[in-house]
Amino acid sequence: MTGGGFGGETGQGGQAGQGRSGAQAGTAGRPALAFTPVYAAYGALFGLLVLGYPVAARYLAGEVFGPPLWLPVSFAAAMLMAAVSFALVLRARAAAAIQAAFDIVDAAIGGRQRLTGYEETNLSALENKVFRYVELTRARERQIETERSKIKTLISDISHQTKTPLSSIRLYSELLEEVPDLHEDARQYAAQIKLQSVKLDWLIGSLVKMSRLEAGMISLQTAVSPVIPTITQSVSHVYAAAERKGVEIAIDCDPGAAAKHDPKWTAEALFNLLENAVKYSEPGSGVHISVQAGEMFARIDVADRGIGIAESEWNDIFKRFYRSKQAAGHEGVGIGLYLAREIVTAQGGYIKVSSKLGEGAVFSVFLPVI
């Protein structure tokens, strides 16, 4: 360790960090961190002991036939005591240096003044690096918050500015369909305009939800509550589509099964899973929803008998805008599973899938119980 140690020598200008109370300390508090005087003092003591022993032994040997027994014993005891004392003092100085480092970190995090000032010591250099790191971190946090605010404004503008035109398109397409003597081709065009406007409205809404989740703009209100109302709510949104396709939805859930979740957003995640299950299931097949309550998680399984998913795609299907090769013939943009995973993950849960091609898939949602 260099002469500067973790602090300055006694008598140097500036202030040293003893700082247990978080306040600045004067030079009187700095000697506890000065290692050089300790090395010098104990080095001199060891030198005296080592050099003094042969001198004393030779001197006494001139009067007596040999050195008395008490001399080597006293020398050994003195060396042992010196070594123990050195170890204890060094330990105390090291503890003081570590405490000073802790005080520096606390002062930097708490936004208090520097403890050592700007001395040319290792401790002051360490303090400078810590304060610089904290300043950079806070500047980065402020930048992220500014960007988040801009994104929030942009998302709100997009949502607001697109809502009115889409509503107008749907309204005028419905009015066109009601014209008595409208040509059949024109009527079909109006129906397609209406259908595509509905899809566009859904897509924009999904993108807005996705952006809000990624930007941290949505605050999920989680609490331990039964999951059956949440499941029922999600089923109600896909029931009409399932009925048109002849897909039966069965629910197997203990009414007392509960989990810590946000009912509204969890129903949104389950809706995305159920929508895919109905979409990719064969007509006349079924979708089965089951719930298993565990010690740490409540497991909600959504099982279908659809086209299935290759094992090589199990991780990819949860990515944004990813679509399986088997899903190429079905409508979709590939954000439903991504949204479902983001919503569940934000609540401390997770989703996994198990599937075989041509044999359907099982999506398992794990929600924390406590």
pLDDT, block means (10 residues), the chain with 370 residues? 37 37 39 62 73 66 56 71 81 85 85 76 82 88 80 72 80 83 83 82 76 70 92 92 91 90 92 90 91 91 90 85 72 80 91 89 93
Q: What is the pLDDT of residue 22?
A: 39
Spatial contact of 301 and 290, defined as CB atoms under 8 Å apart: yes
User: Is the pTM above the cut of 0.95?
Assistant: no
- What's the CA gap between 36 and 33, in Å, rounded? 9
CATH architecture of 223-368: 2-Layer Sandwich (3.30)
DSSP 306: B
- What's the CA gap between 6 and 19, in Å, rounded? 14
What are the angstrom distances between the C-alpha of 148 and each of 180, 201, 222?
A: 51, 24, 23
Q: How far is CA 45 from the centre of its chain?
A: 55
- 90's CB contacts (< 8 A; 6+ apart) are 35, 38
- What's the CA gap between 290 and 305, in Å, rounded? 15
Domain boundaries, given as residue ranges, for the chain: 140-214, 223-368
Give me the residues paired with residue 366 across strands. Answer: 299, 350
- 144's CB contacts (< 8 A; 6+ apart) are none
Q: What is the pLDDT of residue 35?
A: 61
Nearest one of 269, 340, 274, 328 to 303, comparing CA atoms = 274
Spatial contact of 2 and 122, defined as CB atoms under 8 Å apart: yes
- What's the CA gap between 100 and 106, in Å, rounded? 10
